[in-house]
Amino acid sequence: MLKAFKIISYLEGISFLLILFVTMPLKYLFDSPQPNQVIGMAHGLLFLLYVVFAIMMKEERKWNGKTLFIVLICSIIPFGTFWMDKKYLK
């Protein structure tokens, strides 16, 4: 399960960065919303998977509530999932 969570967190982080730095500028600067719709849908699914797997990892890794909260907050901070991987998923 750890390997699956690492993959999901990595993909979730990449999709979030793509939204922030690629698809949102395309949408608002070049009036091209299609990439944002596609990447946004993928990011939404990955975000939900990230949250579900983080809750399951809480039990497996014996995290306390504070650690789970930090891991969940990392999903809404740019580059947060990459930092979380290094800090909590060694």
Residue with tokens 């991987």: 85
pTM of the model: 0.91
Per-residue pLDDT tens for 8-36? Answer: 999 999 999 999 999 999 999 999 999 99
Domain count across the chain? 1
Residue 77 is classified by DSSP as: S
What's the helix, strand, coil split of the chain in %, to 5?
85, 0, 15
Residue 68 has pLDDT above 90, yes or no: yes
Distance CA 79, CA 84 (A): 9
Structural domain for 69, as ranges: 2-88
Residue 1 is classified by DSSP as: -
pLDDT attached to residue 90: 80
Residue 7 has pLDDT above 90, yes or no: yes
